[in-house]
């Protein structure tokens, strides 16, 4: 308990009944959650009765590490403790219950889901008229709002609403035909299982007698229903979150969950964490001033810090986006050259990905290393996904998505025409596509080349299944043997444009081997043999194996920056139309601050409130230096168009900032070649040459 402030102590010491911890930015919420778990263990609560849920594997891993560190020599006290993401927890529930029924299932990743929706659109002759991502987003929001296909509202004025009503039921039918769940199902289907089976629910309620939830402001309706069912008999639920940082309404998060917690869980105690351990007070003054204008606030917070300073933030006014980018890079160069900062200490934030292009170009020109948060995920890379598809198919031969992906990869003579003929036979005879492959000799319109390809694939899958199910070979060894069997490395080398490209792609495959090996080392042989759990966990573990940051400037959208912090933050594009975004400024049928059932804001007023919270998140990423910049004009259709300053800038007290006019000039080059040339010239001058 040493080192905790009074509010943190109150949250840690509370034991029974509902508790709402309102944790301001940088107020030490992870410390409170981990200390609270340790305190429960010290009081004799068994670890097997404690469940902690969060949103990312990184956060769950950090909690686990902190708890083990706090327990020191008593690590066995945490045996049986559940620290998990919502979706991993849902996967655990479904895996155990389906295993009890002796049934297998597959998890669709984003690519699988998109491919299925594309096929459905083709079947209903609507393939080229609609954006697949927009339809997927609507289906996801419907699931997050716990809406079945038949419960979608009618909206004849919105073509995307109408096509979603057509696609959603077919998409769900496809999932069931493939014995599959998508990412959202890992919460929704658990809730439906518990609603239908009170006996199953009771078992999981015993496992969650003490329930802790991180980032509660980001929960959607389906997650809220999961939590309410789990907490029902004991009511020992502690949620930690910050309604000031609720920024995911567009993907189904419902800020009402945290705003109305006391209504949903009567008798709840409320604790506010307002002491910030990250930022200078000047930066917090700016954040407080902007967020205090919220109209939907229920519990006001005022962040304060012991890091007092007379420094002011900078508001930079540039004539153009090019000048804004050049100024930003000049400032980063100055901090690195004159103040001893590292590139990794600096971040450039923006509202939309399109704003990154000009800053990227400027950083590249100046030879400054950078990384973009939210690049391609490791498990979405083709060669990794191909190998995972083989493993998924081996364990679940009804997984038609995985089968279609690798049926002719590497090439084995089963072309598109043969695949469609096999699919037609399967449909006519009531078989799965895999059963058509197994019975290919009975089909008379399949070419001999395709027939032999089917037999080759069948043999590969049979040999791999034997390794997994009979010989119980560890996952990493199975994956390596499978690569040898299908000649994956040879194909990568043959199909890559250069040896370096081939080495990089094969390095990704090696990365998958290493991931499997690390998991085996952590979990022992019993877990090493359970490849099904490996595959499910890998599908959910988005981003966990991304390349490390290294010493590079971070570029990120405001949404992607949540949870990060930097010494120096430049927030670009503080203009109406960017922040708040243009979509939130467009007129709607009503400006009343009501909310749609999917959890997102349904009015302009609600959307602008979320934009205000997004601005607040960006400001509170900064530890020492905050620069807000805007442009006087931006080119539209080749002509400069004047821009209006963001309304959020108007909320900042004049005594807390200094405004500067940015000159339209390039950054100061730090190009290594130029520096070497200058050094050589200086040496020659010194020699009289």
Q: Catalytic amino acids? A: 29-30, 214-215, 245, 621
Q: Are 51 and 204 in contact (CB under 8 A)?
A: no
Which candidate, 589, 618, 593, places its Cα nearest to that of 607? 593
| Cβ-contact 347, 566 below 8 angstroms | yes
Expressed in angstroms, the distance from the first to the final Cα of the chain is: 70
Distances (CA, A) of 382 to 226, 310, 378, 388: 34, 52, 9, 10
Residues of the binding site for ATP: 23-30
Task: Residue 361: count other Cβ atoms within 10 Å of its Cβ.
Answer: 13
Tokens of 425: 């036979």
The structure tokens listed for 620 are 């509170």
- Consecutive H or E run containing 630: strand 622-631
Q: How far apart are CA 361 and CA 546, in angstroms?
A: 23
- Alpha-carbon gap, residue 78 to 318, rounded angstroms: 55
CA pair distance 639, 71, nearest whole angstrom:
63
* CA-closest candidate to residue 257, choices 215, 208, 221, 229: 221
CB atoms within 10 A of CB 130: 16
Alpha helix segments (H runs only) across 124-197: 132-144, 159-177, 185-196
User: What is the DSSP pairing of strand 633-636 with strand 639-642?
Assistant: antiparallel
Q: What is the 3-state secondary structure (H, E, C) of 333-378?
A: HHHHHHCCCCHHHEEEEECCHHHHHHHHHHHHHCCCCEEECCCCCH
DSSP letters along 375-397, please?
A: ---GGGSHHHHHHHHHHHHHH-T
Contact (CB, 8 A) for 217 and 207? no
Longest distance between any two alpha carbons in the chain, whole Å:
92
Q: How far from chain centre, in Å, is Cα 473?
A: 32
Report in angstroms the alpha-carbon separations of 616 from 110, 294, 303, 481. Answer: 30, 11, 12, 51
Distance CA 386, CA 226 (A): 34
As a whole number of angstroms, the distance between CA 229 and CA 415 comes to: 49
Q: Peptide bond preceding 497: is omega within 30 degrees of 0, i.e. cis?
A: no
C-alpha of 304 from chain center? 30
Residue positions forming the annotated binding site: 23-30
Check if the beta carbon of residue 105 is closer than 8 Å to that of residue 69: no
Cβ atoms of residues 240 and 23 within 8 Å: yes
**Rounded to whole angstroms, what are the CA distances from 456 to 82, 139, 425?**
43, 38, 20
Q: Rounded distance, CA 374 to CA 393, Å?
A: 29
How far from the centroid of its chain's Cα atoms is residue 509's Cα? 22
DSSP-assigned letter for residue 467 = I
């Amino acid at each position: 308990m040493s080192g905790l402030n009074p509010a943190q102590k109150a949250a840690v010491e509370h034991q029974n009944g509902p508790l709402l911890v309102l944790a301001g930015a940088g107020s030490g919420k992870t410390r409170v959650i981990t200390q609270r778990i340790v305190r429960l263990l010290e009081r004799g609560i068994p670890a097997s009765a404690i469940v902690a849920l969060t949103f990312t594997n990184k956060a769950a891993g950090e909690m686990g590490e902190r708890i083990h560190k706090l327990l020191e020599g008593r690590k066995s006290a945490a045996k049986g403790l559940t620290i998990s993401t919502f979706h991993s927890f849902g996967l655990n529930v479904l895996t155990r219950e389906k295993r009890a029924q002796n049934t297998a299932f597959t998890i669709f990743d984003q690519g699988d889901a998109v491919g299925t929706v594309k096929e459905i659109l083709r079947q209903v002759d609507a393939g080229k008229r609609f954006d697949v991502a927009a339809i997927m987003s609507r289906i996801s929001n419907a699931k997050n709002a716990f809406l079945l296909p038949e419960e979608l509202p009618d909206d004849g004025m919105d073509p995307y609403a109408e096509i979603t009503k057509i696609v959603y039921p077919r998409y769900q039918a496809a999932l069931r035909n493939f014995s599959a769940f998508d990412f959202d199902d890992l919460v929704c289907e658990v809730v439906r299982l518990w609603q239908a089976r009170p006996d199953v629910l009771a078992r999981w309620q015993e496992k969650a007698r003490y329930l802790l939830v991180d980032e509660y402001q980001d929960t959607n309706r389906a997650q809220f229903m999961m939590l309410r069912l789990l907490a029902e008999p004991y009511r020992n639920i502690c949620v930690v979150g910050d309604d000031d940082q609720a920024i995911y309404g567009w993907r189904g998060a419902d800020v009402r969950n945290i705003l109305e917690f006391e209504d949903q869980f009567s008798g709840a105690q409320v604790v506010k964490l307002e002491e910030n351990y990250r930022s200078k007070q000047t930066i917090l003054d700016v954040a407080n001033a902007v967020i205090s204008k919220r109209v939907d606030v229920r519990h006001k917070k005022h962040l304060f810090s012991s890091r007092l300073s007379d420094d002011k933030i900078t508001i930079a006014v540039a004539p153009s986006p090019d000048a804004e980018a050049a100024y930003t890079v000049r400032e980063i160069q100055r901090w690195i050259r004159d103040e001893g900062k590292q590139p990794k200490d600096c971040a450039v934030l923006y509202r939309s990905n399109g704003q990154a292009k000009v800053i990227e170009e400027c950083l590249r020109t100046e030879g400054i290393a950078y990384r973009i948060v939210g690049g391609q995920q490791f498990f979405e890379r083709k060669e990794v996904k191909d190998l995972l598809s083989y493993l998924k198919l081996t364990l679940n031969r009804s997984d038609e998505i995985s089968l279609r992906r690798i049926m002719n990869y590497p090439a084995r003579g089963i072309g598109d025409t043969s695949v469609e003929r096999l699919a037609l036979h399967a449909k006519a005879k009531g078989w799965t596509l895999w059963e058509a492959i197994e019975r290919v000799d009975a089909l008379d319109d399949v070419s001999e080349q395709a027939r032999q390809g089917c037999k080759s694939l069948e043999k590969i899958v049979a040999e791999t299944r034997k390794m997994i199910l009979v010989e119980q070979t560890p996952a990493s060894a199975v994956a390596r043997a499978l690569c040898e069997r299908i000649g994956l490395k040879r194909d990568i080398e043959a199909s890559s444009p250069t040896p370096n490209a081939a080495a990089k792609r094969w390095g990704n495959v090696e990365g998958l081997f290493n991931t499997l090996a690390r998991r085996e080392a952590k979990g022992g042989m019993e877990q090493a043999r359970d490849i099904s759990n490996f595959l499910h966990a890998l599908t959910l573990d988005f981003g966990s194996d991304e390349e490390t940051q290294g010493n590079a400037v971070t570029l990120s959208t405001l949404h992607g920056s949540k949870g990060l912090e930097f010494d120096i933050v430049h927030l670009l594009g503080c203009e109406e139309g960017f922040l708040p975004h243009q979509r939130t400024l467009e007129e709607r049928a009503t400006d009343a601050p009501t909310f749609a059932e999917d959890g997102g804001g349904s009015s302009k007023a609600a959307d602008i409130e979320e934009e205000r919270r997004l601005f607040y998140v960006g400001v509170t990423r900064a530890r020492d230096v905050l620069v807000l910049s805007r442009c006087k004009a931006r080119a539209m259709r080749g002509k400069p168009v004047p821009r209006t300053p963001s309304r959020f800038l108007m909320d900042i007290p004049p005594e807390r900032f200094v405004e500067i006019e940015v000159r339209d000039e390039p950054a100061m080059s730090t190009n290594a070649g130029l520096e070497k040339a200058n050094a050589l010239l200086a040496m020659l001058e010194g020699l009289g040459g």
